[in-house]
Structure 1
Amino acid sequence: MAEDPETEFLPIVEETVSLSTRRVVTGRVRIATRTEELDHVLPAELSSVEVDVTRVSVDRKIDAIPDVVTEGELTIIPVVEERLVVTRELYLREEIHIRRVERTETVEVEATTRRQTSQIERLPADPAPFQNKDDQDDL
């Protein structure tokens, strides 16, 4: 087809776009932990039993050896002896009385525990070094 001098051409132009991504450090985080010790005072109950011994003089004639007797917190242990008379007779020489007394007291016991804490610090990003001038213009 021959070109007509009267015909004008209008060029058609099209733009295209391309997208690319790259990783950029925008910030950093520093985390530090430390262990601390906490001292506690804990209550504890301690029990103890005290024994009070009393000797009770009796010096009484008996026919048989008495048994050990316990009455509540009191225990009575008979102590006997034989005495020579024309005949043998038993005499209750003394009794030993043992009384138990229980006491309770609250004491404070020291104990140490540990726990960790952390500290988080946000740091700015290091500026990325540019490799050439063209990369700097793209920003």
Structure 2
Amino acid sequence: MANPVPDPNAPLDDQEQVPVLDDALRSDPQTVAEEAIPVVAERAIIDKRQVVTGHVRVQTVTDTVEELAHASVQRDDVEVTRVPIDRVVETAPEIRTEGDVTIVPILEEVLIVTKQLVLKEELHIRRRIETESVEVPVTLRKQRAIIEREAQAGATVADEAEPENDNPPPR
């Protein structure tokens, strides 16, 4: 492997002789020419500033719409029927339900020589459920935005932003 640093005293083989500074000083001063190469660098400076290109004015307007709200309501009506029985029983009957009728026994103790339990009457309670459709007026509010853009020259352009709705409000 060759030595990367050449020996300064060693003669150069097959190469042209390089003039040394001493040789340039010893030669004729008119033959030595100096060249000055200017070094120039550019630099970019970036800056920013605010520029008003126009104005925007936003208003919100609330519209009211009268609509009918539909609903189903239930009402329970109770019908009480007194059924006279007047029968002697040994024990008090329980409250029972037959179909849609709840039967509540009404008892009375009667004083005879002996005491007997007499079923005096029964209350038959029937429950009926009625469903009725009602319509109630309600007031709904919807907002929309009105946007006005003022250009630099003073001309006004109006945009109206509608809410996303299948039923737009009447105007």
Please indicate the TM-score interval, normalised by the length of the shorter structure. Answer: 0.5 to 0.7
Question: Which of 94, 97, 104 in structure 1 is aligned with 2:124?
Answer: 97
Aligned CA distance change for structure 1 residues 123 and 90 (closer, same or farther; 3 Å): same
More strand by share: 1
Match of residue 112, structure 1, among 132, 139, 143: 139
**Distance apart, 1:69 and its partner CA:** 0.7
Q: What TM-score do you get using the length of structure 1 for normalisation?
A: 0.62
Change beyond 3 A, Cα 1:118–1:87: same
**Distance (whole Å) between structure 1 residues aligned to residue 57 and residue 111 of structure 2:** 98
Q: Note the 1:12-91 alignment, pairs <5 A.
A: 32-91=59-118
After superposing on structure 2, the runs of 4+ consecutive aligned residues of structure 1 that deviate more than 3 Å are 27-33, 118-124
Distance 1:45 1:82 in 2: 48
Q: Which has the higher contact order (CA 8 A, sep 6+)?
A: 1
In the alignment of these two chains, the number of paired residues is 104
Gaps of 5+ in 2: 1-50, 156-171
What is the distance in 1 between the residues matched to 2:129 and 2:52? Answer: 76
* Structure with larger Rg: 2
Runs of at least 5 residues in structure 1 that lack an aligned partner in the other structure: 1-22, 128-139
Q: SS state of the match for residue 135, structure 2? A: strand
Q: Letter of the 1:42 partner, please give it.
A: A
The Cα shift of 1:116 comes to: 2.1
Cα pair distance change 1:29/1:81, threshold 3 Å: closer
| SS of alignment partner, residue 66 of structure 1 | coil
